[in-house]
Amino acid sequence: NMQGMLLNEYEIKQITSTLTKHYNEILLLTIMPTESCNFRCAYCYENHDDIVMNEDIIQGLEKYIENSYHQYNHISISWFGGEPTLCKKTILRINQKVKKLLNCEKKYSFSMTTN
């Protein structure tokens, strides 16, 4: 195509290979510390049960990160929920654990879907 919008098979394989290599270097985690929400918006379709991560799950998550982080150049955590900020202590705890493990040697980023 003259507009450069279509790629041939070789170009697609090159791009796919580059993206695969890049994403294999990143540990991407989406963590939902609670299903609870403090707003209860009328338009929301979720139940928002008052369920939070228990200590066993938090410890398991920490152990998983500890056992896996060395394989990656970057850890990226996406906090999701209900309303994740209702579990501030859990977020701060895991954040500190990751920062301590990485010790400024690898990249660490996080995002949060919140009200």
Of the ranges 12-26, 54-68, 88-102, which one carries the lowest mean pLDDT score?
A: 12-26
- In this structure, is the dihedral angle defined by the CA atoms of residues 99, 107, 28 and 115, taken in order, positive or negative? positive
pLDDT for position 112:
96
- Indicate whether 81 belongs to any domain: yes
Residue 92 tokens read as 């701060």
Model pTM score: 0.78
The strand pairing partners of 4, in sequence order, are none
pLDDT for position 47:
76
- Indicate whether 82 belongs to any domain: yes
**Digit-coded pLDDT (tens) for 34-72:** 988 888 777 877 777 788 999 999 999 999 999 999 999
Domains: count for the chain: 1
> Beta strand pairing status for 74-79 and 107-112?
parallel
Distance of CA 68 to the CA centre of its chain: 14
Domain span holding position 68: 26-34+56-115
- Indicate whether 80 belongs to any domain: yes
Rounded Cα distance between 82 and 79, Å, is 10
User: In this structure, how many other beta carbons lie within 10 angstroms of the beta carbon of residue 26?
Assistant: 14
Amino acid at the residue 53: M
Residue 9 tokens read as 């098979």
- Indicate whether 39 belongs to any domain: no
- Indicate whether 20 belongs to any domain: no
